Amino acid sequence: MADNRLMADLIRGVGMPLLLLAMLAMMMVPLPPLALDVLFTFNIALSVAILLTTVYVSRPLDFAVFPTILLVVTLMRLALNIASTRVVLLNGHTGTSAAGKVIEAFGEFVVGGNYAVGLVIFGILVIINFVVVTKGATRVSEVTARFTLDAMPGKQMAIDADLNAGIIDQDTARTRRQEIGEEADFYGSMDGSSKFVRGDAIAGILILFINIIGGLIIGTTQHDLSFSAAVHNYTLLTIGDGLVAQVPSLLLSTAVAIIVTRVSRSQDMRKQVFLQLFSDHRTLLVTAAVLGVLGMIPGMPNFAFLSLAGAAAFAAMRIARRRPETAESEAEEVSPEAALPDLGWQDVDPVDLIGLDVGYRLIPLVDRNRDGALVARIKGVRRKLTEELGFLVSPVHIRDNLDLGPNNYRITLAGVSIGEGEVHIDKDLAINPGQVFGKLTGIETKDPAFGLEAYWVEAAQREEAQMLGYTVVDPATVVATHLSEILKSNAHELLGHEECQQLMERLAASSPKLVEDLTPKLLPMSTIARVLQNLLEEKIPIRNIRKIAETLAETATKSQEPDVLSAAVRVALGRSIVQSVAGTGPELPVITLEPELERILNESAQEGGTMGLEPQMMERLHDSLSDKAQSQEIAGEPAVLLVAPHVRPWMSRMMRNIRNLHVLAYNEVPDDKRIQMLAAVGT
């Protein structure tokens, strides 16, 4: 068994080298006519198989080996041309059967033994192959390769957006990135391999003239044939040889044109052609009417036109009958005499913690019976946030709301609206990530999640938008991303007493003594909940619940104040906080306050008073920090304000609306992290 497997691997390993050596041998070693017949027949059959593969394959990437096959088949056909040229020039004086039955059949039967007709047919084939098919396929390959490479950054950003929104996992993202790379490699290879077909067509023309001229010279000078006999023999043999080569060449050119004009998504070409061409029965009805009018004109081929008009009309009626009929909903009859039941506590609906209201046009997105895309997206958002934040995020209650616009949606938290947006279910959102290469035609809008410039575009414009550098997402992803960002910003409101109790119970399974000493002996559950909410409010996950509980148990003997306990937990989690802000680098670039300003704020905090800065001074400080944070964001660096521990809570609350500004205390920075001073701001 092992020997058989080893032999099979050996045969597969030497198959391609043997094929290349065989093609080299065809160029060097004279082949008998019988071998030429077999090889020419095999070449035609292989070309037909390749053409049919490009038709039946679901998407171009499923036939990724096509560029390599195209090169090998082209080289094999050129090797056959050399072998047949040798036989024609050596034995052409003996008659038209000198190069085998296949070449003779194409020279005698296909063109009727008339070399003038053969030259015309060969010229037409060359024009069709070279000027029409090959030139068009080459142009499409060049444009597709260039646009595919230009669109790679936008597609990568779309994958990152789906990953960040929790729509896909790491494995799916890795697979999609690999597909994007394979797609770029494939179209780049097709751009180069289409030049093989173009060069093959040119080589066919040159070989034809070389064979005719060489045959006339050899026939008249070496074999004493008359000029007319030499023209008859060598021209028919050359034309037969040329036609045998041009037929598979045309088939391969067509295969190249088909595969480079296919869209990249998976689809059945036969079904798509039928559905897109004949999906509307009115197309065939109008066609039947036009053919019927032409068929009734005197002098026209009435039978042909009228019979085809009848067939088109019959097909239109069949298509019209197959279209699904619109289902009509039946209204439920409610008896006006039905007595209203008495009110009870069951009639008091609790407020949904997280709610999503949608307009009536968005119902298909959330309809579970129709596999609404948004339902799966929201599940992914909940899963990702649960993993990131460290507690179970409550379910999202979805309902339709006729008070909203048909394309609008509203996100609510504890019954209060905290976000709204508008999406078009039949369009895609093209988001400008900051650098694009052109404008789009569509409905101008703003991305509801991040406020970026965006356009609602038709689905057919998706590829164009990605090539211009836009990040294109579907309506379900827009809503899911908006929901994800809002829940991240308001995570502290999602954590309540019940969630804290669940966290303590899970911790008790692994550290029962720690939980027993912490609550209710040292701290009530309400205080623990307040500390965890403080952490979430400042974007600090509570995944390390054991470290948090240990710090609370240690600090609770000194103070019961939630703010003091929160500050102690922040110090304990300092390494993870700094790492989430600035990464794992050895240095932490920071912005500080001017010494005099920090002294004033520190004294006010220690005296227990409010940070009473004048409004104008406060505004100037806010503007200065905002400018520094924006500069750091442009440079791709984190914006960190480093202040004294007593000042940090106040500064964090006052500067919370500055995007990407992180306020840290001195004692929260790990000892092994070097501080890099960027600037000192004041009033």
- DSSP per-residue letters across 334-375: --TTPPPPPP-GGGSPPPPSEEEEE-GGGHHHH-GGGT-HHH
pTM above 0.75, yes or no: no
Amino acid, single-letter form, for residue 671: D
* 63: pLDDT strictly greater than 50: yes
Q: Is the dihedral of CA 50, 54, 57, 62 positive or negative?
A: positive
* From 19-28, 50-59, 474-483, the region with the lowest mean pLDDT: 19-28
Do 391 and 542 contact (CB within 8 A), yes or no? yes
* pLDDT given at position 6: 54
User: Can you tell me the distance from the alpha carbon of 175 to that of 75, in angstroms, rounded to the nearest whole number?
Assistant: 34
* pLDDT given at position 3: 53
35: Cβ contacts below 8 Å, ≥ 6 apart: none
* pLDDT given at position 603: 76
* 228: pLDDT strictly greater than 70: yes
Closest CA to 125 of 54, 49, 201: 201
Per-residue pLDDT tens digits for 376-414:
889 889 999 999 999 999 899 988 888 898 999 999 998
Biggest distance spanned by C-alpha atoms of the chain = 122
User: Can you tell me the distance from the alpha carbon of 454 to that of 19, in angstroms, rounded to the nearest whole number?
Assistant: 54
> What value does the mean pLDDT of the chain take?
79
Do 216 and 234 contact (CB within 8 A), yes or no? yes
Per-residue pLDDT tens digits for 4-48:
555 555 555 565 677 667 767 667 777 777 877 788 888 888 888
Do 547 and 507 contact (CB within 8 A), yes or no? no
Distances, alpha carbon 451 to alpha carbons 243, 409, 414, 650, in Å: 63, 16, 24, 28
Amino acid, single-letter form, for residue 530: R
Most confident of the ranges 267-281, 288-302, 400-414, 648-662: 400-414
* pLDDT given at position 151: 67
* pLDDT given at position 325: 46
Most confident of the ranges 239-243, 315-319, 389-393: 389-393
* 458: pLDDT strictly greater than 80: yes
* pLDDT given at position 443: 92
Most confident of the ranges 323-337, 588-602, 610-624: 588-602
User: Which of the pair, 10 or 59, is modelled with greater confidence?
Assistant: 59
* From 257-271, 375-389, 413-427, the region with the lowest mean pLDDT: 257-271
The residue count of the chain comes to: 683
* pLDDT given at position 12: 53
User: Which of the pair, 141 or 411, is modelled with greater confidence?
Assistant: 411
User: Which of the pair, 445 or 196, is modelled with greater confidence?
Assistant: 445
* From 144-148, 334-338, 355-359, 426-430, the region with the lowest mean pLDDT: 334-338
Do 628 and 681 contact (CB within 8 A), yes or no? yes
Query: Residue 332: pLDDT band by 50, 70, 90 thresholds?
Result: very low
* pLDDT given at position 269: 54
Across residues 546-563, what is the average pLDDT? 92
Query: Residue 206: pLDDT band by 50, 70, 90 thresholds?
Result: confident
